[in-house]
Amino acid sequence: MDVDKRLGYYLNTLCENDMIGSDMEKRTHIKNTVESVGSIVTVMGWVDSRRDHGSLIFLDIRDSTGIVQAVVSPKSEDAYSHAKHIREEWVLKITGAVKKRPDAMVNDDIATGTVEMQVTTLEVLGVSKTPPFPLHTDGLDIDEESRLRYRFIDLRRQRMQNNIRLRSEFIHRVRSLLFDNDFVEIETPLLTQSTPEGARDFVVPSRLQPGSFYALPQSPQQYKQLLMVAGFERYFQIARCLRDEDLRADRAFEHSQIDMEMSFMDEEAIRAFDEDLITRVYEAMGATIKEKPFPVFSYQEAMEQFGADKFDLRTEEEKREGILAFAWVVDFPFFEKKDDGKWTFTHNPFSMPKHEHIDFVLEEKRLDEVVAHQYDLVCNGYEIGSGSIRSHHPNITRSVFSILGYTEEHIEEQFGHMLEAFSFGAPPHGGIAHGIERLMMLITNEQYLREVQAFPQTSSGRTAVMNAPAPLSHDQLDELKVNVNTEDEKER
Ligand code: ASP
C-alpha cells in the first residue's frame, strides 16, 4: 500500500471529530492553517527545517497534523533575534497571520503548501541538541543500536509516525468490529503460570514465596478458555505475549495479539467470522486482497505444493502492487515425534482432535494419524494467525498430556485447574489469535517487526531507550532470596 497516501489520509481525518475539551488547547492545529488565510493564529510544534536567507528566516514547523512554513522577518525584531539561534527540532510557539503564498511559491508536497505564516511573536518552548541522526530519511540505513537508544527521536520520522499511527487505527477498527459483534474485552493476568506455546518462559521471582516464580504469559490461552467456561461466549483482548525465543526479523520477545475465543461455534463458523473481520479491516484501510473467500489448503496439500505450511501466493506483479494473498491452512497433524522419539504437539495441546480421531487419542494409538481442528491464516509468506477448536472434555485433554509424556501428578499440578473447569459444564469453544506486528508489516510493507513497534528490543534482546536487562542490587536479590551465580556478580 502507498504509505504516503496513508499519511495524507491521516492528516485529513485527524481533528475532524468533536474533540473533548477542545478549549483546552489554545492553538491552531497546523493542518487547519490552510483554512485560516487572513487570520492570526498560534501554532506549536517542532522546527522541521530552518533556512536562513539573511533578510528572512524560513522555519518549517511540524505538529502531529502537518507542516507549515513560517517566515520571520527583521521587522518582528524579537522573533527575528530568536530565530537566528533556533535549530532543527526545537519546540516553538509562534503567532502570526496566515497569508496565501504567491502561485509560483506553492509547495505541492505538503497539505498546507498554499499558505505560510508571517511570524509576529515566537516563544521557545524547548531547545534540542543536534539530533543523533537525520530525520528526513526513512532511517533504514541508520544502525539499530542508535535508532533504538534514541527511539523517542527516531519515532519522529514520517515513516515511523505513519507506522505507529496505522497500528493504532488498525487496532481501533478491530476493536469496534468486535464490539459490534458482542465481544467482551477482558484483560487476563501477566503474572501467571507457564502455558505451553512451544517457547521458553520469561519468569519473575516471587518476594512473598521465595524460591517460587511466576511465568509471563506466552499467550492468554488458558484464561480465554476459562472465560468460555465462565459464560462470556465471545472474548477478545489486545494481548501482550512474551516468549523467550531466538529473535528474527519477524519475531521478538514481546508481541501483541488480537486474541479471540468464541463458544458454540464450529471450525467453519470461526474461520468465516475471522475472515470477515480481517477482510473488512484491511479493505477499510485501502488494501487489495487477491482472492475471496480465502483459499483453503490442508496441511498435507500445503507441504506437497509449497514444501512449507506458510507460503506466498502472489505473482511477482502482485508483489509489486502490494496485494495481500491470504490463505487458510487446516487439518494439521496433532502430534509429531521429536528426535528423542517422544511425542510433542505441533500447535496447541488444548486443541480438539478431529471427531474420527478422538478414540485414537483416548486410546493413545495411531498418533501419527491424528488430525487436529487447527487452522492457521497465512499471508504473503507469513503465518499471521493461528487457532483451533478446543477440547472441552477433560478426558481428551488429560490423554493429550499423557501422550506428551506428563505424569499424572504433573498433569494435575500444571493443568488440574483446566481439567477441573471442564468438569463444571464447559461449552464447545474455539478461537484464534493474530500477531499484530505481522499484520502491520503486511500493510506497511516493512520487513522488520521493530518497524511497527514503538519500543522494540534490539536484536541482542536489549530494551529500547532504557537499560534492560540489568543486574539487580544485592538488596533486591536478598529480598527475593535469589542467588546469582555468574562471574559478573562478584563485581557488583
Ligand atoms: N494461543 C495460540 C497462539 O498464541 C492461538 C490460539 O490458538 O488461539 O498461537
Nearest-CA residue for atom 9 of ligand 1? 386
pLDDT reading at 480 higher than 60: yes
Q: Which atom of ligand 1 is nearest the CA belonging to 350? A: 7
**Residues 181-184: contacts with CB within 8 Å, 24+ apart?**
181/234, 181/273, 182/233, 182/234, 183/234, 183/235, 183/236, 183/260, 184/232, 184/234, 184/235, 184/236
d(CA 241, CA 437): 12
Average pLDDT of the residues of the chain: 93
3-class DSSP state of 165: helix
- Alpha carbon distance 242, 181 (integer Å): 28
Cell of 31: 493542518
CA dihedral (375, 380, 382, 386) in degrees, to 10, reads -20
Kindly give the distance from the C-alpha atom of residue 188 to the centroid of ligand 1, in angstroms, as a whole number: 14
Helix (H) or strand (E) holding 203: strand 203-205
% residues pLDDT > 90 (the chain): 88
Residue 225 CB less than 6 A away from ligand 1: no
Contact 244, 218 (CB under 8 A): no
- Does 387 sit in the ligand 1 pocket, CB within 6 Å? yes
Q: Does the pLDDT value for residue 93 go beyond 50?
A: yes
Phi, psi of 49, deg, nearest 5: -160, 160
Of the pLDDT bands very low, low, confident and very high (cuts 50, 70, 90), residue 15 is: very low
Q: Is 263 in the pocket of ligand 1 (CB under 6 A)?
A: no
Q: Taking 60 as the threshold, does the pLDDT of residue 139 lie above it?
A: yes
Residue 243: DSSP 8-state? -
Ligand 1 center–CA 169 separation, angstroms:
23
| Atom of ligand 1 minimally distant from the CA of 347 | 9
Residues in the chain: 492
For residue 132, the surrounding DSSP H or E stretch is none
pTM: 0.91
Nearest-CA residue for atom 8 of ligand 1 = 432
Distances (CA, A) of 20 to 15, 232, 473: 11, 32, 45
> Among residues 344, 330, 274, which one has the least CA distance to residue 302?
330
d(CA 130, CA 222) in angstroms, rounded, equals: 49
Q: Which atom of ligand 1 is nearest to the CA of 260?
A: 8
221 lines ligand 1 (CB under 6 A): yes
Residue 329: the pLDDT is 98
How far is the C-alpha of 190 from the C-alpha of 201, rounded, in Å?
12
Q: How far is the CA of 311 from the centre of ligand 1 (A)?
A: 20
Determine which residue's CA is closest to atom 7 belonging to ligand 1.
387
Per-residue pLDDT, 488: 56
Maximum CA extent, the chain: 91
Give tens-digit pLDDT for 312-369.
999 999 999 999 999 999 999 999 999 999 999 998 899 999 999 999 999 999 999 9
Would you give the DSSP letter of residue 373? S
Q: Which atom of ligand 1 is nearest to the CA of 261?
A: 8
Q: CA-CA distance, 450 to 77, in Å (whole number)? A: 46
Residue 135 CA to ligand 1 centre (angstroms):
38
Range in 147-161, 340-354, 374-388 with the lowest mean pLDDT:
340-354
Cβ–ligand 1 contact at 274 (below 6 Å): no
Nearest to 167 by CA among 289, 281, 279, 288: 281
pLDDT confidence bin for 14, thresholds 50/70/90: very low
Q: Is the CB of 70 under 6 A from ligand 1?
A: no
What whole-number distance in Å separates Cα of residue 210 and Cα of residue 478? 10
The answer to whether 330 and 299 are in contact (CB under 8 A) is yes
Per-residue model confidence as pLDDT tens digits over 248-280: 888 899 999 999 999 999 999 999 999 999 999
41-53: average pLDDT: 97
pLDDT digits (tens, 9 = 90+) for 391-402: 999 999 999 999
Cα angle value 360/350/203 (rounded, 5°): 135
User: For residue 281, how far is its CA from the centre of ligand 1 (angstroms)?
Assistant: 20
Please indicate whether residue 96, judged by its CB atom, sits closer than 6 Å to ligand 1: no
pLDDT of residue 11: 44
Q: How far is the CA of 432 from the centre of ligand 1 (A)?
A: 6
Percent of all residues in the chain with a pLDDT value above 70, rounded to a whole number: 94
> pLDDT tens across 164-202, in order?
999 999 999 999 999 999 999 999 999 998 877 778 999
Atom 6 in ligand 1: which residue has the minimum CA distance?
A: 387
Mean pLDDT of 212-223: 95
Give residues with Cβ within 8 angstroms of 321, minimum separation 6: 288
How many angstroms separate the alpha carbon of residue 426 from the centre of ligand 1? 19
Using a 6 Å cutoff on CB, does residue 219 contact ligand 1?
yes
Total H helices, total E strands in the chain: 14, 17
Q: Is 222's C-beta closer than 6 angstroms to any atom of ligand 1?
A: no
Nearest to 482 by CA among 491, 472, 492, 490: 472
9 pLDDT band, cuts 50/70/90, is very low
pLDDT number for residue 355: 96
When pLDDT is averaged across residues 363-382 and rounded to a whole number, the result is: 97
pLDDT of 1 above 60: no
SS3 of 57-74: the string is EEEEEEECCEEEEEEECC
SS3 at position 7: helix
Distance of CA 293 to the CA centre of its chain: 25
- Measure the N-to-C terminal CA separation of the chain; round to a whole number of Å: 51
Contacts of 5 (CB under 8 A, 6+ apart): 286
Q: What residue has cell string 541482542?
A: 460
Distance of CA 214 to the CA centre of its chain: 24
User: Between residues 334 and 11, which one has the greater pLDDT?
Assistant: 334
What is the distance between the alpha carbons of residues 343 and 336, in angstroms, rounded to a whole number?
A: 6
Q: Can you tell me the distance from the alpha carbon of 352 to that of 55, in angstroms, rounded to the nearest whole number? A: 76
